[in-house]
Amino acid sequence: MSASRYRVSVDNDRCRRFGICAAEAGQLFRLTPSGGLRYLRAVPAEALPAAQAAVRSCPTLAIELEER
């Protein structure tokens, strides 16, 4: 298994936990029962389109996707 070329980061000061990222990329983002956000930092190749959709859909622009 090769290392992921893409990484996700979330600015916790901007994130308001609307859950749009979880709707767009449920394999990467998850809201916890206590209202927190959990996410995978390393983006598998097959999840890249979903990660890009989550970045585009975030109303607070809290999600960044970078190529490594």
Closest CA to 10 of 44, 47, 43: 43
The total of other beta-carbon atoms located within 10 Å of residue 22's CB is 18
CATH of the domain at 45: 3.30.70.20
pLDDT of res. 2: 53
pLDDT of res. 64: 98
Domain that holds residue 41: 6-67
Does some domain include residue 16? Answer: yes
Does some domain include residue 54? Answer: yes
Whether the Cβ atoms of residue 58 and residue 66 lie closer than 8 Å to each other: no
Does some domain include residue 28? Answer: yes
pLDDT of res. 3: 62
Q: Is the pTM of this model over 0.85?
A: yes
pLDDT exceeds 50 at position 1: no
Binning pLDDT at 50, 70 and 90, where does residue 46 land? very high
Does some domain include residue 1? Answer: no
Give the DSSP H or E segment for 53: helix 48-57
The percent of residues above 90 in pLDDT, for the chain, comes to 93
Q: How many domains are contained in the chain?
A: 1
Q: What is the mean pLDDT of residues 34-43?
A: 95
Burial of 31 (0-12, 13-18, 19+ CB in 10 A): middle
Question: Amino acid identity, residue 52?
Answer: Q
